[in-house]
Amino acid sequence: MKPSLRLFVSLSILLLAGCYRFTGIAIDQDVNTYYVDPFDNRAASVVPTLAPDFTEKLKNKIRNESRLIFTDVDPDIEFSGSITEYRVTSEAPQPDEQVAFNRLTIAIAVTMTNNKRQEEEPKKINKTWYAEFPSDQNLLDVQEELIRTITDQLAEDVFTEAFTSW
């Protein structure tokens, strides 16, 4: 094989490999449907839209990144859970006792039940994520963006843990 052809083939393979997204998920062939029960908000501080928004985010994550079909009638897999923590803390105090930044922390508890394997215990998934923001910013000004960032990661973590260890 000519060196230029070999180089072209090698570069083509590398380019195509770079376009492939490996998710690592493995779902039993007999599992075809899922349901996400509306999440409860059990945190001491409550943002009214957080639980329903996270419910939709998890539904969409599973719908878009797996072959499963959403149904509320006799699903093969069911997810249920709650927002267990929504907290803002001050972090990294400066020498003059001023806070450098604040941290918004959100925690969730999820139960995944595989109705195709009822002999198995439901899988418990507990995740916590946080995002930081400067102490001179008002939480209300950055809250929506922080919640979006944190819940994106939480949905990713739940999806990964639910479907990578079959």
Q: Find the CATH number of the domain harbouring 38.
A: 3.30.160.150
- Render pLDDT for 36-79 as a digit per residue (tens, 0 to 9): 999 999 999 989 999 999 999 999 999 999 999 999 999 999 99
140 within some domain:
yes
Give how many domains the chain has, as a whole number.
1
List CB contacts of 147: < 8 A, sequence separation 6 or more.
47, 50, 53, 104, 106
Residue type, 84: T
- Which range (21-25, 43-47, 106-110, 148-152) has the least confidence? 21-25
List CB contacts of 162: < 8 A, sequence separation 6 or more.
77, 79, 110, 112, 123, 125
5 within some domain:
no
17 within some domain:
no
C-alpha to C-alpha distance for 78 and 81, rounded to whole angstroms: 10
2 within some domain:
no
13 within some domain:
no
Q: For residue 14, is pLDDT > 60?
A: no
Which of the four pLDDT bands, split at 50, 70 and 90, describes residue 26?
confident
59 within some domain:
yes
74 within some domain:
yes
Please give the residue range of the domain that contains residue 36: 25-163
- Of 136, 71, 14, which is closest to residue 6 (Cα–Cα)? 14
11 within some domain:
no
Which carries the bigger pLDDT value, residue 145 or residue 19?
Answer: 145
Which of the four pLDDT bands, split at 50, 70 and 90, describes residue 135?
confident
